[in-house]
Amino acid sequence: MVRKLHCEEETGAMKKGDVIVSFRGVRKTYDGESLVVKQLDLDIYQGEFLTLLGPSGSGKTTCLMMLAGFEFPTGGEIWLDGKLLNNVPPHKRNIGMVFQNYALFPHLTVEQNVGYPLSVRKVSAEERAQRVNNALKMVRMESFAKRYPAQLSGGQQQRIALARALVFEPKLVLMDEPLGALDKQLREHMQYELKSLHEKLGVTFVYVTHDQGEALTMSDRVAVFDKGVVQQLDTVDRLYESPCNEFVANFIGDSNRLRGTVESVDGEFCAFRLADGTRLVGRNVGGAKAGVPAVACIRPERMKLASGIAGAAGQNGNTLAGEARGLIYFGDHVRMRCGLPEQDECFVKVPLGTDALDAFAPGRPVALEFAPEHLRVFA
């Protein structure tokens, strides 16, 4: 199971229903040598919003295309609602699909585009008209029924593509970066709309994106892909707060990286010594042994400006000495760039109105404080 392979922490709260999709030992290669997807075992639950997240070339889109039927697995099995899909063509899978470019027919009106899946299924004209109208109401586009795709904005076309994917009441809906072509403000608005529609309909959504913010905003669970392997499959809060390896910690949200050596191990925690001699305590996530080189990750919002001595146990357990390098304004907070001895530059999230900001000057000494439970050490 995925739990054993990819350090998933699965609880009953993650499951919204029975398993609807199962990947079992799925592999995919295009050249017969390198595997784009490696030994994938994954269950998708009825009614959940699952996002496949990862950088380009990580295998996430290939998994979606295999589920849709546009690609076939080199090995393993894909099951949908108890039926083996390996050799089932796309049009017989009862799966809705929304593409990044929407794939609307330019010569058909909105209502004709939405009604197309019903036409190929030989649904009567009367029923087709009713279901098309209901689908357009669902995405608040009923007044655009007679228009053509070229007469619509990108956001409107996205809504039409979604209505077409839902009109024939599929068992699940697949989305391949459907918001990628939209501007930032519209994309964020559509994220909330998609999540609201999912909650209203209860249909299973499987969504592909490389945008971590998009994944965290909409999903019940996220599968983080890298090099054809699911690195972690978890709820969004656990994925952000408890990444199981360095890749996930750095890919999801912002993380500061500290290089050093594990000095000693005490249960789930370990002492971590930096190159300049600073001693920190953190969670030994990777099960590292004493004496091995390691990387520790800490979120910018978990670090606080404080007065203290590097290496001494401050109010929150750990302190680092550094110097202020610059400020980056984010509207609701400021990110302070800090230089650390023999380490990469780090960032600290500082609330507006913090006294230290009034006295800020580049080169000024600063002390950074954080709790051991928020420092995650990976071998």
The answer to whether 233 and 42 are in contact (CB under 8 A) is yes
Residue 307: pLDDT over 80: no
- How would you list the strands of the sheet with 95-98, edge to edge? 95-98, 172-176, 204-209, 49-53, 221-226, 229-235
Residue with the larger pLDDT of the pair 306 and 27: 27
Give the angle 64-89-179 at the CA atoms, nearest 5°: 30
**pLDDT confidence of 4, banded at 50, 70, 90?**
very low
**pLDDT confidence of 181, banded at 50, 70, 90?**
confident
**Quick one: pLDDT at residue 100?**
81
Cα distance between residue 112 and residue 155, in whole Å: 18
Residue 278: pLDDT over 50: yes
* The residue type at 31: D
Residue 206: pLDDT over 60: yes
Residues of the chain with CATH 3.40.50.300: 2-247
Residue with the larger pLDDT of the pair 193 and 221: 221
Q: Could you read off the pLDDT of 33-63 as tens digits, one per residue?
A: 899 999 999 999 999 999 999 999 999 999 9
- Distance between first and last Cα of the chain: 24
**Quick one: pLDDT at residue 160?**
93
**Quick one: pLDDT at residue 223?**
97
Query: pTM value?
Result: 0.86
Q: What percentage of residues in the chain have a pLDDT greater than 90?
A: 65
* The residue type at 10: E
Q: Could you read off the pLDDT of 68-83 as tens digits, one per residue?
A: 999 999 999 999 999 9
- For the domain bounded by 254-378, which CATH number is listed? 2.40.50.140
Averaged pLDDT for residues 300-307: 85
Residue with the larger pLDDT of the pair 94 and 13: 94
The answer to whether 211 and 178 are in contact (CB under 8 A) is no
- How would you list the strands of the sheet with 346-351, edge to edge? 304-306, 365-370, 318-329, 333-339, 346-351
- Which architecture characterizes domain 2-247 according to CATH? 3-Layer(aba) Sandwich (3.40)
Cα distance between residue 201 and residue 186, in whole Å: 22
Characterise 286 by phi-psi region: left (phi > 0), alpha (psi -120 to 50), beta (else).
alpha
Cα distance between residue 196 and residue 138, in whole Å: 11
Residues of the chain with CATH 2.40.50.140: 254-378
Cα distance between residue 335 and residue 17, in whole Å: 41
Per 3-state DSSP, the chain is made up of helix, strand and coil in percentages (nearest 5) of 30, 35, 35
Average pLDDT, whole number, for the chain? 88
Residue 11: pLDDT over 50: no
Closest CA to 374 of 252, 251, 285: 285
If you write DSSP's letter for every residue of 3-65 in order, what string do you get? HHHH-----GGG--SSEEEEEEEEEEESSSSSEEEEEEEEEEETT-EEEEE-STTSSHHHHHH
**Quick one: pLDDT at residue 356?**
65
Closest CA to 181 of 203, 198, 151, 161: 161
DSSP annotation of 69:
T
Residue 136: pLDDT over 90: yes
Averaged pLDDT for residues 238-248: 93
Any residues with CB less than 8 A from the CB of 379 and at least 6 apart, and which? 262, 286, 287, 288, 289, 292, 293, 294
- Find the radius of gyration of the CA atoms of the chain: 25
State how far the alpha carbon of 373 is from the alpha carbons of 14, 249, 268, 270, 305, in Å: 24, 14, 10, 11, 18
Cα distance between residue 213 and residue 161, in whole Å: 23
H/E segment holding residue 214? helix 212-218
Other beta carbons within 10 Å of 212: 20
DSSP annotation of 291:
T
**Quick one: pLDDT at residue 158?**
87
